[in-house]
Amino acid sequence: MNKKNNFKKNTIKNFYQAKIISIKINKNSPGSFYCGCKIVWKQKKGVPDLYSCGYKIRKNINRATRIEWEHVVPAWQFGHHKKCWKKGGRKKCIADRTYQYIESDLHNLQPVIGELNADRSNFIYGQVSYNTSKYGRCNMKIDFQRKIAEPPERARGSIARTYFYMSKKYNVILSKKEKKTFSMWDKIFPVTKWECEREKLIFKIQGNHNNYVYKKCYKKRKI
């Protein structure tokens, strides 16, 4: 079996395999998703260079010094309504094939500093009232009481287009406020060169486009 066949969507059976493939996709990424930290890839592990982006560890040293794979649309948002989730959360849904298919969608996975993955949890994206970040120069703001995460500007456009994709493909329900916020982010923060490259790589592996990215990248090439 050649290398190309190894990456076809029907071989991605679970989240673990999706993470391994995501490493290959993101080898040449401009850095961690939220903060832009340089990433040193060591086989199956990614180590963020916190100094390169001015990241300040808030609390969790162990997770702050490793790269984890963030579901931009959190697992809770596309899984909590399932019977398996109601019986015991995410762990109980491991054997659910439909859930696994959604959980391993490469378009929804981004490399982030582990501490931010933990702190963001399943919080919705939105605007946080205070102005200062608890993560140094990485302008990520998380309101733990209101369960809201305000991402840095560099990630907002990609977040919006990922949410629209997941909503369309898997019927993830968005609130009116989310639709308004993501529509604004989509307009203000256009697709980047890397976003287009990443979408193309995922298409070659997974076999489907995120049309909210692909169409904009195609228009850019035509100009």
DSSP labels, 57-93: --S-HHHHTSEEEEESS-HHHHHTTSHHHHHHGGGGG
Q: Over 70: is that where the pLDDT of 66 sits?
A: yes
pLDDT at 222: 65
pLDDT digits (tens, 9 = 90+) for 184-216: 999 999 999 999 999 999 999 999 999 999 999
Residue 200, domain member (yes or no): no
Portion of the chain with pLDDT greater than 90, in percent = 83
| Buried/exposed code over 67-99 (b: 16+ C-beta within 10 A; e: otherwise) | bbbbbbbbbebbbeeeebbeeeebebbeebeeb
72 token code pair: 């931009």
Q: What is the arithmetic mean of pLDDT over 85-111?
A: 93
Rounded distance between C-alpha atoms, residue 189 and residue 178, angstroms: 16
Residue 23 forms part of a structural domain: yes
**Mean pLDDT in residue range 166-181:** 96
Q: Evaluate if residue 44 carries a pLDDT over 90.
A: no
Confidence of residue 143 (pLDDT cuts 50, 70, 90): very high
* pLDDT for the residue numbered 131: 83
Residue 189 belongs to some domain of the structure: no
Question: What is the band of 2 on the pLDDT scale with cuts at 50, 70, 90?
Answer: very low
Q: State how many domains the chain has.
A: 1
Side-chain-side CA neighbours of 158 within 13 Å: the count stands at 23
pLDDT of residue 3: 39
Containing structural domain, residue 37: 15-155
Q: Is residue 195 part of a domain?
A: no
What pLDDT does 1 receive?
35
Higher pLDDT, 4 or 193: 193
The helix/strand/coil state of 207 is coil
Q: What percent of the chain has pLDDT over 70?
A: 94
For residue 52, what pLDDT band results from cuts at 50, 70 and 90? very high
